[in-house]
Amino acid sequence: MGIFSSRKTKFVDSDILIIGGGFGGCGAAYEARYWARNAKIVLVEKANIERSGAVAHGLSAINCYMGMQWDENRPEDHVRYARGDLMGLVREDLVFDIARHVDATVHKFEEWGLPIMKDQKTGRYMREGRWQIMIHGESYKPIIAEAARKAASEVYNRIMVTHLLMDKARPNRVAGAVGFSVRDGNMYVFRAKAVIVGAGGASHMFRPRAIGEGMGRTWYAPWSSASAYGLLIPVGAKMTQMENRIVLARFKDGYGPVGAWFLLLKSHATNAYGEKYEPRWFDEIKAMVGKYAEITPMPTCLRNHSMLQEIKAGKGPIFMQTQHVLDTKEKEEIGWEDFLDMTVGQAVVWASQNIDPKEKPSELITSEPYVMGSHATCSGAWASGPEDCAPKDYQWGYNRMTTVEGLFGAGDTIGGSAHKFSSGSFTEGKIAGKSAVKYITDMGGNEPQVDEKEINRLKETIFKPLENYDVGRNEIVAGTVSPSYISPLQGLQRLEKIMDEYVGGISTFYMTNEPMLNRGLELLSMLKEDLDHLGAEDLHQLQRAWELHHRVWTAESVTRHTLFRQETRWPGYYYRGDHPKLDDTDWHVFTGSQYDAKTGEWHMTKLPVHHIID
Q: Tell me which of 31, 85, 92, 128 is the catalytic residue.
A: 128
Annotation says 338 is catalytic: yes
Q: Please report how close the Cβ of residue 571 comes to other proteins at its closest, in angstroms.
A: 28
Annotation says 219 is catalytic: yes
**C-alpha to C-alpha distance for 231 and 161, rounded to whole angstroms:** 8
Burial class (CB in 10 A: 0-12, 13-18, 19+), 245: buried
Q: Tell me which of 63, 267, 379, 513 is the catalytic residue.
A: 63
Does 122 sit near other proteins (CB under 8 A)?
A: no
Q: Tell me which of 225, 244, 399, 422 is the catalytic residue.
A: 422
Residues 6+ apart with CB under 8 A from 369: 205, 206, 245, 246, 247, 499, 504, 505, 510, 573, 574
Does 107 sit near other proteins (CB under 8 A)?
A: yes
Does 126 sit near other proteins (CB under 8 A)?
A: no
Tell me, what DSSP letter sits at residue 19? E
Query: Beta 154-156 vs 41-44: how paired, if at all?
Result: parallel
Q: Tell me which of 33, 375, 565, 576 is the catalytic residue.
A: 375
- What residue type is 388 in one-letter code? D
Q: Please report how close the Cβ of residue 121 comes to other proteins at its closest, in angstroms.
A: 20
Distances, alpha carbon 582 to alpha carbons 289, 566, 568, in Å? 5, 9, 5
Please, which of residues 302-331 interact with other proteins by CB under 8 A? none
**C-alpha to C-alpha distance for 255 and 191, rounded to whole angstroms:** 40
Q: Please report how close the Cβ of residue 28 comes to other proteins at its closest, in angstroms.
A: 12
- HSE at residue 124, side-chain half, CA atoms within 13 A, is 14
Does 444 sit near other proteins (CB under 8 A)?
A: no
Residue 115 or 397 with smaller CB distance to other proteins: 115
Annotation says 447 is catalytic: no
Residue 157 or 461 with smaller CB distance to other proteins: 157
Does 347 sit near other proteins (CB under 8 A)?
A: yes
Please, which of residues 362-401 interact with other proteins by CB under 8 A? 386-389, 399
Does 146 sit near other proteins (CB under 8 A)?
A: yes
Q: Tell me, residue by residue from 209 to 228, as one string, x for binding to other proteins by CB under 8 A and - for no binding.
A: -xxxxxxxxx--xxx-----
Residue 181 or 306 with smaller CB distance to other proteins: 181
E-only strand ranges, 103-214: 133-137, 154-156, 159-166, 174-181, 187-197
Q: State whether residue 8 is helix, strand or coil.
A: coil
Q: Tell me which of 15, 31, 92, 338 is the catalytic residue.
A: 338
Q: State whether residue 341 is helix, strand or coil.
A: helix
Annotation says 278 is catalytic: no
Q: Please report how close the Cβ of residue 319 comes to other proteins at its closest, in angstroms.
A: 17
Q: Please report how close the Cβ of residue 448 comes to other proteins at its closest, in angstroms.
A: 21
For other proteins, the binding residue among 336, 396, 509, 602 (CB under 8 A) is: 336
Residues 6+ apart with CB under 8 A from 451: 168
Residues 6+ apart with CB under 8 A from 427: 27, 98, 101, 102, 105, 420
Q: Which residues of 558-595 are buried (b: 16+ CB within 10 A; e: fewer)?
A: bbbbbbbbebbbbbbbbbbeebeebbbeebbebbbbbb
Please, which of residues 245-264 interact with other proteins by CB under 8 A? 253
Does 333 sit near other proteins (CB under 8 A)?
A: yes
Residue 441 or 566 with smaller CB distance to other proteins: 441
Please, which of residues 148-207 interact with other proteins by CB under 8 A? 150-151, 158, 182
Please, which of residues 46-75 interact with other proteins by CB under 8 A? 46-48, 50-53, 56-57, 68-69, 74-75
Does 607 sit near other proteins (CB under 8 A)?
A: no
Annotation says 131 is catalytic: no
Annotation says 243 is catalytic: no
Q: Which residues of 176-196 are buried (b: 16+ CB within 10 A; e: fewer)?
A: bbbbbbbeebebbbbbbbbbb
**C-alpha to C-alpha distance for 608 and 587, rounded to whole angstroms:** 10
For other proteins, the binding residue among 7, 10, 40, 76 (CB under 8 A) is: 76
Closest by Cα among 488, 496, 487 to 215: 496
Does 441 sit near other proteins (CB under 8 A)?
A: yes
Question: Is-contact 44 156, C-beta < 8 A?
Answer: yes
Q: Please report how close the Cβ of residue 186 comes to other proteins at its closest, in angstroms.
A: 16
**C-alpha to C-alpha distance for 459 and 131, rounded to whole angstroms:** 46
Q: Please report how close the Cβ of residue 166 comes to other proteins at its closest, in angstroms.
A: 27
Show which residues are catalytic: 63, 128, 219, 250, 338, 375, 422
